[in-house]
Amino acid sequence: AQLVESGGGLVKPGGSLRLSCEASGFKFSDYHMTWVRQAPGKGLEWVSYITGTGRTIHYADSVRGRFTISRDNANNFLYLQMTSLRVEDTAVYFCVREMGSGGGRDSWGQGTLVSVSS
Amino acid sequence: AIQMTQSPSSLSASVGDRVTITCRAGQGIRNDLAWYQQKPGKAPKLLIYDASSLQSGVPSRFSGSGSGTDFTLTISSLQPEDFATYYCLQDHSFPYSFGQGTKVDI
């Protein structure tokens, strides 16, 4: 399994950004996916979750109403649309397959850095 | 939201030491707890899932225990490559939540 995030970069407060995570090496639609972030020098923060079908979605309170998770199972992509970005959204964003699951199902990407600054 | 309180926040230990990290959940989470190891600049690596099940390929010196609200990660004999930060994760109910992390210095 391989997960490769992209789309990070520098954006001004109030701006928008869309992160992508390209999955390969497994049947993408069979797995639920999660976004986790880590601010510089800080701990891990769970951000959002989506089931394999995309029918069930959950968000952290800190991003609800501003971030939208989605997936394209035909092309093996996971997305995170981020709007109304704040300085405190600055972090490395990780795409994770089946976070916390055993049997080799848990798999993480390398992360993509989002910097929100004026 | 379930708060996860992890302790200590940091510790210093020597090679060969037995190390214990604890995680307390704000409410019962059965055994829906995982432990991760993270090294600088790298993605976290799953060590333990379902509170006590060892992830394939993880050395047997790592073990997890607990159920309900109190959980423990134990490294039976610390090795130089175990220098890292360790996080607990509750995946019992949304929003999922991590502990604050424990940095282990060798």
pLDDT tens figures, B46-87: 999 999 999 999 999 999 999 999 999 999 999 999 999 999
The whole-angstrom distance between A95's CA and the closest CA on chain B is 10
The answer to whether the bond into B8 is cis (omega within 30° of 0) is: yes
Q: Predicted confidence band at A117 (pLDDT cuts at 50, 70, 90)?
A: very high
Q: How many CB atoms lie within 10 A of CB A31?
A: 19
Where b means 16+ CB within 10 Å and e means fewer, B27-53 reads: eebebbbbbbbbeeeebbbbbbbbbbe
At residue B90 the predicted structure's pLDDT band, cuts being 50, 70 and 90, is very high
Residues 13-72 in A contacting B (C-alpha not used; CB under 8 Å): 34, 43-46, 49, 58-61
Alpha carbons within 13 A on the beta-carbon side of A34: 22
Q: How far is B60 from chain A (nearest CA, A)?
A: 15
**Which pLDDT does position B3 carry in this prediction?**
97
* Reported confidence tier of residue B38, pLDDT bands at 50, 70, 90: very high
Rounded Cα distance between A109 and A114, Å, is: 15
Of B87, B1, B103, the C-alpha closest to B44 is B87
Tokens of B96: 């999922």
CB contact under 8 A, A102 and B46: yes
d(CA B83, CA B12): 10
> What is the Cα A54 distance to its own chain's centre?
14
- Chain B nearest C-alpha distance from A94 (Å): 8
Condensed to tens digits (0 to 9), the pLDDT of residues A49-72 reads: 999 999 999 999 999 999 999 999
Interface test with A, best of B23, B58, B94, B102 (most A CBs within 10 A): B94
Instruction: Give the pLDDT score at A103.
Output: 83
Of B34, B94, B101, the CB nearest to A58: B94
